[in-house]
Amino acid sequence: MTLILSRSRAASDFKKLAGQNNHFLVTILVGLDEVRSGRAERKPEFSTTWDPKDVVQSADRSRMYATRTALLWIVEAFEGYAASIRKTAGVFSEPEQALIRGESGDGKSRRLVRLNEVLGEPDSAELALVRAAMDWRNRIAHFATTGNLDGEVKGQLRKFADEISGAYRHLEVDRLIQSISNGAAPSFKEVASIIEATHKLVRRLDEAVGPRMNSVQFAEQAIRDYVEALSVDRWKQVTQSIWQGNEQRSVSKLASILRQVGFVQVESDDVESPVDEYIKSLAQISVEEARLTFRSA
């Protein structure tokens, strides 16, 4: 078995933030259907006032709040992913960073297009949907954004209209464009499609980022982050547990830490990866050396 990096820390963080967004949204909407039907009742232990005059109107408005919030959440999570990737050491050269940044007035949508191009990824339905979602988020969260959807994004959506319809619940691009231009709350179909497309785009970008990353440097930083985030007492316990004098157990515990941040173990023909070599050498140091290397915050 050998350790390889399957995804970036940014992708792991994105998955933690947005991995179950569709499930959460469906659960909320199922609950709101009960409100709309008049069957929902406030439990006594829920210590707040809830007595809507019109349960149908209350449920419908709450549904709009839920889909808007889901849209905001997925866009913010994606933008956090993109920013984190750009800050990851060694992934982009300075000329590439300058190209992605572009002009001072360029927005995040245009920077995303250039990030996609620098990584060698083709134009796609997913890129179009994520760019549309970024514009939609601005209209929902920032009152100053009004008017028609950006012409370039609109053209991208129409270019992939058939693919979007086929892959995303028969989503109608022209209706989507109209909803965004009006600043309307997204329908469940629209926001669920955007969430799915965003996950697909993150996976695609991360596959392109992977070969650019220094896996040993990433592993070293991941172990440092893990150990140094512990309280002093917990730090002493954990370092003693990892570096207990048994090299095989130390390797196993270090590998377990790395599996939490995107590394996976795969079958190999007794060929060690650079990360395998790194954790084996790290497993050979004493607990005193480890504590000097990885200090508690």
Question: pLDDT (tens digit, 9 = 90+) per residue, 167-189?
Answer: 999 999 999 999 999 999 999 99
Residue-wise pLDDT tens digits, 257-276: 999 888 888 877 667 889 99
DSSP H or E stretch at residue 263: strand 263-266
- Taking CA atoms, 266 is separated from 213, 269, 273, in Å, by 18, 10, 11
- Taking CA atoms, 240 is separated from 92, 226, 275, in Å, by 37, 14, 22
List Cβ neighbours of 183 (8 Å cut-off, separation of 6 or more): 136, 139, 140, 145, 146
Closest-CA residue to 91 (of 246, 212, 176): 212
Report, as an integer, the average pLDDT of 147-160. Answer: 93
Closest-CA residue to 164 (of 208, 123, 213): 123
Q: Is the dihedral of CA 133, 138, 143, 148 positive or negative?
A: negative
Asked if pLDDT for residue 9 goes beyond 90, the answer is no
Residue-wise pLDDT tens digits, 223-239: 998 988 888 889 989 99
Q: Phi then psi for 2, rounded to 5 degrees?
A: -135, 150
Q: What's the confidence (pLDDT) of residue 184?
A: 94
Report, as an integer, the average pLDDT of 52-79. Answer: 96
The reported pTM is 0.86
pLDDT band at 190, cuts 50/70/90? very high
Contacts of the segment 171-176: beta carbons below 8 A, 24+ positions apart: 176/132
Q: What's the confidence (pLDDT) of residue 269?
A: 65
One-letter identity of residue 152: E
276 and 2 in contact (C-beta within 8 Å)? yes
pLDDT band at 145, cuts 50/70/90? low
